[in-house]
């Protein structure tokens, strides 16, 4: 299910809704980045509490964030709620009287919160599937957006670095891929899976298709930037932003990445202007 928000005002980003919070990151991204790195560190150290939490998260993959009673009390939803309450308190500071919402405004706010819940829940549970049984590597890694990870998978690569026959690092893996392997030479089955993600009609279908690709990424030990994915999933649920998210995925897939130009932790990948990238179409996907 998607929804539409009012038309953007002047100066508002096409890929980031206007936030009154002082920080630029959206609530879904912030909640995800407060949850996954902590759990990932504990899981890799085999800390019992983290291992148990990650196991619970894996079982919640594909389920409604609040409709499943077994999800109640999980850290990512509690973190999102705490951040949301903090944001409300900051917005109320300095006001002479509490702000009262009309029925329409309240319904719109509830829809936004539902989109946030679904985005964070989907991102964190996908990471739990991705990290399963991997203690020596982190499957959440800033600078690895969805398109970049799928491109590497489609070229039959593993991990994030290429090695020569002697086991020596050849250099940045993606630079090598761009010079030696054209985008037309990617494995058609992986490309088709990626296109199917792009043409998903609803969040349930998108969730299912993302799980399929994440399991393949886990096998190849290719990471994802789950903070960025959470924000994209939040925006994807809004009809006003869905096309821009789709363009971003396409641009990530085609972009060249250099080791000395990788984004820092939490940094966004470039957002393509409208029309700068060919849209993913149903002509490329078989349902």
Average predicted confidence (pLDDT) for the chain: 81
pTM score of the predicted model: 0.78
More confident: 128 or 274: 128
Using pLDDT thresholds of 50, 70 and 90, give the confidence band for residue 4: low
Cα dihedral across residues 18, 23, 24, 30: positive or negative: negative
All domains of the chain in start order, with CATH: 27-90+102-284 (1.10.520.40)
Res 67 pLDDT > 70: yes
- Give the model confidence (pLDDT) of 221-271 as tens digits: 999 999 999 999 999 999 999 999 999 999 999 987 765 444 444 444 433
Using pLDDT thresholds of 50, 70 and 90, give the confidence band for residue 175: very low
């Amino acid at each position: 299910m998607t929804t539409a928000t009012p038309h953007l005002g002047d100066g508002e980003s096409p890929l980031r809704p206007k936030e009154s919070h002082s920080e630029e990151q959206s609530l879904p991204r912030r909640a995800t980045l407060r949850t996954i790195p902590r759990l990932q560190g504990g899981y890799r150290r085999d800390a019992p509490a983290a291992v148990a939490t990650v196991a619970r998260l894996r079982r919640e993959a594909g389920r409604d964030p609040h409709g499943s009673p077994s999800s109640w009390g999980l850290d990512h939803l509690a973190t999102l709620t705490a951040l949301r309450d903090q944001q409300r308190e900051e917005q109320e500071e300095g006001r002479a009287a509490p702000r009262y919402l009309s029925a329409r405004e309240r319904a719109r706010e509830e829809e936004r919160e539902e989109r946030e819940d679904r985005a964070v829940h989907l991102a964190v549970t996908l990471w739990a599937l991705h990290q399963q049984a991997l203690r020596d590597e982190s499957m959440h890694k800033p600078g690895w957006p969805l398109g970049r990870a799928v491109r590497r998978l489609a070229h039959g690569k593993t991990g994030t670095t290429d090695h020569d026959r002697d086991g020596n690092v050849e250099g940045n893996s993606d630079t090598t891929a761009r010079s030696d392997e054209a985008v037309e030479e990617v494995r058609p089955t992986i490309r088709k899976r990626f296109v199917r993600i792009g043409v998903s009609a609803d969040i349930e279908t998108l969730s299912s298709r993302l799980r399929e690709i994440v399991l393949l990424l886990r096998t190849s030990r290719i990471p994802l930037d789950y903070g960025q994915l959470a924000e994209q999933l939040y925006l994807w649920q809004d009809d006003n932003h869905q096309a821009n998210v789709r363009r971003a995925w396409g641009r990530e897939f085609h972009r060249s990445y250099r080791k000395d130009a990788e984004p820092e932790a939490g940094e966004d990948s470039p957002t393509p202007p409208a029309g700068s990238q060919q849209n993913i179409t149903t002509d490329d996907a078989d349902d």
